[in-house]
Structure 1
Amino acid sequence: MSNQTQDVTKIADTIKVLQGGIDFYQKAIGEVDSSNVQHMFRRMIKGKEEAIESLQPFAIKEQGERETDSDWMVSTRKIYTQLIGKMSSDEDHTYIKQLEEVEDRVLEVLDEALKHDQPESCLIALRTIRAKAQQMHDEMKALQEATA
């Protein structure tokens, strides 16, 4: 039996997507009118912040420091949404639709990280975060359908 230490993989990428999602939700809070939607966005931010904190030790193991950057795809989607939101008759739905896409991206990056041979403690964290991310995705999908 080997006592070799496993490397972590794709954790920094996962944090970047989560951070991008936080940035996007923070911007969206100021753009949507519904206080219920704003409250939901705050819950999404809190969930992503908790996920990032639990993953940071693995990011440090992966790259030697905390990950603080955002995913460029999520940042680009945020800018795109700001532009189309200004032209839309239903800005709330525009943000909700695009944020549901961000939730899709979160699930994708978590699934990618879970495909790799990770240390057991990292796998446990990723699986826990993946379950919560699925719940957040499902909430955003339901909100998107309700506002369509």
Structure 2
Amino acid sequence: MNTQTQSVEKVSDVIQVMQAGIEFYDEAAKEFDNDSIKNTFQRMIVNKRAAIESLQPLAIAEQGDKETGTDWAVDARKMYTKFAGMMSSDERYTYVNQLEEVEDKVLEALDDAISADQPEPAMATLRTVKARAQTMHDEMKALQNALEH
């Protein structure tokens, strides 16, 4: 009789990307005067925090503790945006463009976690988080398109 159990995998990666995204949105909000865009960024932060909260039990199952780190690639993108923004004639578009790329990275990390052989309760949580993440991505993509020259 096979008693092999599934274990949670790759959820900590998702959380790291989301946590780095929260920091990036918070920083970007300080660069905008437009209240509508600031509100969008704040909503993204709130949604990411809620997603992280729902994923933390899975991270504990995966690694024995809550995930508190950030993703280095998102941190690097944040630094790039600061420098590119200084050189760009449209700093707002540069920020939104890079934030949309962060949303791409969130979806990619979620796809990786979903493609792993996860226990069904973990899959249900990941699918729910993915649906919300797709909505956030689509909102940032629409904002990116609206700000394009």
Calculate the TM-score normalised by the size of structure 1.
0.96
2:146 aligned partner, one-letter code: A
Number of residue pairs aligned between Structure 1 and Structure 2: 148
CA distance in 2, matches of 1:51, 1:4: 29
Q: CA deviation at 1:65?
A: 0.6
Q: CA deviation at 1:3?
A: 5.8
Contact 1:32 1:95 in 2 (8 A): no
Q: In the alignment, is residue 52 of structure 1 matched against residue 49 of structure 2?
A: no
CA distance in 2, matches of 1:50, 1:13: 16
Which residue of structure 2 lines up, in the alignment, with residue 117 of structure 1?
117
**In structure 2, the residue corresponding to 1:118 is in which secondary structure?**
coil
Contact 1:107 1:133 in 2 (8 A): yes
CA distance in 1, matches of 2:89, 2:43: 26
Moved beyond 3 Å, runs of 4+: 1-5
Correspondence list, 1:116-135, <5 A:
116-135=116-135
**In structure 2, the residue corresponding to 1:6 is in which secondary structure?**
coil
Q: In the alignment, is residue 73 of structure 1 matched against residue 68 of structure 2?
A: no
Q: CA deviation at 1:2?
A: 6.0
The one-character-per-residue Cα deviations of 1:55-110 (angstroms, maximum 9, x if unpaired) are 00110111111000000000000000011112222221111000000000000000
Q: CA deviation at 1:32?
A: 1.8
Which residue of structure 2 lines up, in the alignment, with residue 87 of structure 1?
87
CA distance in 2, matches of 1:116, 1:26: 31
Correspondence list, 1:12-51, <5 A:
12-51=12-51
Which residue of structure 2 lines up, in the alignment, with residue 7 of structure 1?
7
Stretch deviating more after TM superposition (87-96 or 99-108):
87-96
Stretch deviating more after TM superposition (82-91 or 35-44):
82-91
CA distance in 2, matches of 1:37, 1:89: 19
CA distance in 2, matches of 1:100, 1:143: 9
Calculate the TM-score normalised by the size of structure 2.
0.95
Which residue of structure 1 lines up, in the alignment, with residue 144 of structure 2?
144
5+ residue gaps in structure 1?
none
